[in-house]
């Protein structure tokens, strides 16, 4: 199982190699960190809690600081459930390089809020007649039940709050992955407004965890680069550098 958190940037279009145009949604996904691992034996559920969008530590309360001890101060925490245990541990980090072009993913977001709307816009009612004495009920809902029942049945389609609901879309294709910019290009439209949170997942494959080299495995060269200790004998000394840079006749004059 693979998953990642991201925010919606907006829509654009990309060109395939054969010249066809593909409408895509650009998503700023990751990097993410594993904040907690829940198992069926201990927590009665197999899930991974993922953190996203690092922020300053002072914005976290004491409970959040304790939960994220020795981890980045992430702003967003979400859980992904799985049928089996995922081979991840607390502190693992991963990026968009986990995904590849051509994969089909499930995208979950929250639709745009429309506020309080009537039945014509919310439920696509046709409305009443426009003439013959129906001047006031063009967009009215009409009857909401029989008189003998003396109550309104549950689930009756009426006016109310529209939008701002969780929406999931399956089988969306990943067209392109941009690891340098942490961006996924997903075919088609995804729910939500620009900047809204998106949960991207697929039941197939495994997450590629970033491997950080420990201080024992690398040592600084003095030039801002890290070289494994196993190759430190290959690093030229200062005396060797001076000897290589010296002119050809310098030793002959001495």
- pLDDT band (50, 70, 90) for residue 217: low
DSSP secondary structure of the chain:
-EEEEEEEEEEEEEE-TTS-EEEEEEEEE--EEEEEEE-HHHHSS-EEEEEEEE--GGGS-HHHHHHTTTS--EEEEEEEE-SS--S--TT-EE-GGG--TT-EEEEEEEPPP-EEE-HHHHH------SSTT-SS-SS-----S-TTT-SPPTT---SEEE---EEEEEEEEEEEEETTTTEEEEES--SS-TT-EEEEEESSS---PPPPPPTTTEEE-SSS-EEEGGGGGGSPPHHHHHHHHS-TTHHHH-
Give 123's contacts (C-beta < 8 A, 6+ positions apart).
157
Q: CA angle, corner 79, sides to 7 and 36, nearest 5?
A: 115
The fourth-level CATH superfamily of domain 2-113+165-202 is Translation factors (2.40.30.10)
pLDDT at 229: 41
Mean pLDDT, the chain, rounded, equals: 84
Of the ranges 12-16, 81-85, 137-141, the best mean pLDDT one: 12-16
Q: Are 156 and 87 in contact (CB under 8 A)?
A: no
pLDDT at 191: 94
Least confident interval from 55-64, 76-85, 165-174, 221-230:
221-230
pLDDT at 168: 95
**Can you say how many angstroms the Cα of residue 60 is from the centroid of all Cα atoms in its chain?**
21
pLDDT at 1: 87
Between 159 and 224, the higher pLDDT residue: 159
Give 57's contacts (C-beta < 8 A, 6+ positions apart).
65, 73
Could you give the CA distance from residue 85 to residue 76 in angstroms, rounded to a whole number? Answer: 23
Q: Are 28 and 54 in contact (CB under 8 A)?
A: no
Question: pLDDT over 90 for what percent of the chain?
Answer: 49
| Domain residue limits, the chain | 2-113+165-202, 115-142+158-162, 218-246
Of the ranges 39-48, 111-120, 234-243, the best mean pLDDT one: 111-120
Structure tokens given for 161: 């709050």
Q: Each residue of 140-199: pLDDT tens digit?
A: 998 999 888 899 999 999 999 999 999 999 999 999 999 999 999 999 999 999 999 999
pLDDT at 204: 82
* pLDDT of 224 over the 50 cut: no
Between 242 and 133, the higher pLDDT residue: 133
Q: Each residue of 100-138: pLDDT tens digit?
A: 999 999 999 999 999 999 999 999 999 888 889 888 888
pLDDT at 115: 96
* pLDDT of 72 over the 70 cut: yes
Could you give the CA distance from residue 46 to residue 38 in angstroms, rounded to a whole number? Answer: 5
- pLDDT band (50, 70, 90) for residue 254: very low
pLDDT at 239: 56
Q: CA angle, corner 202, sides to 198 and 205, nearest 5?
A: 135
Between 159 and 214, the higher pLDDT residue: 159
- pLDDT band (50, 70, 90) for residue 242: low
């Amino acid at each position: 199982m693979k998953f990642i958190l991201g925010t919606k940037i907006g829509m654009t279009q990309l060109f395939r190699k054969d010249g066809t145009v593909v409408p895509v949604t650009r998503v700023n996904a990751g990097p993410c960190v594993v904040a907690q691992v829940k198992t069926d034996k201990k927590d009665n559920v197999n899930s991974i809690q993922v953190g996203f969008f690092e922020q300053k530590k002072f914005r976290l309360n004491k409970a959040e600081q304790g939960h994220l001890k020795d981890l980045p101060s992430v702003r967003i925490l979400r859980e992904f459930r799985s049928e089996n245990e995922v081979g991840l541990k607390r502190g693992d980090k991963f990026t968009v390089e986990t995904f590849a072009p051509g994969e089909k993913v499930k995208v979950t977001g929250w639709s745009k809020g429309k506020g309080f709307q009537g039945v014509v816009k919310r439920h696509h009612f046709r409305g009443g007649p426009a003439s013959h004495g129906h001047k006031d009920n063009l967009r009215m809902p009409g009857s909401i039940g029989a008189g003998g029942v003396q109550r309104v049945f549950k689930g009756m389609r009426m006016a109310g709050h529209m939008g701002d609901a969780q929406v999931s879309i399956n089988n969306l294709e990943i067209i392109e992955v941009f690891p340098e910019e942490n961006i996924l290009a997903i075919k088609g439209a995804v729910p939500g407004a620009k900047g809204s949170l998106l949960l991207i997942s697929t039941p197939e494959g495994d997450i590629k965890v970033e491997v950080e080299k420990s201080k024992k495995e690398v040592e600084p060269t003095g030039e801002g680069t890290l070289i494994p200790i196993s190759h430190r004998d290959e690093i030229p000394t200062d005396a060797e550098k001076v000897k290589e840079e010296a002119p050809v006749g310098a030793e002959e004059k001495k």
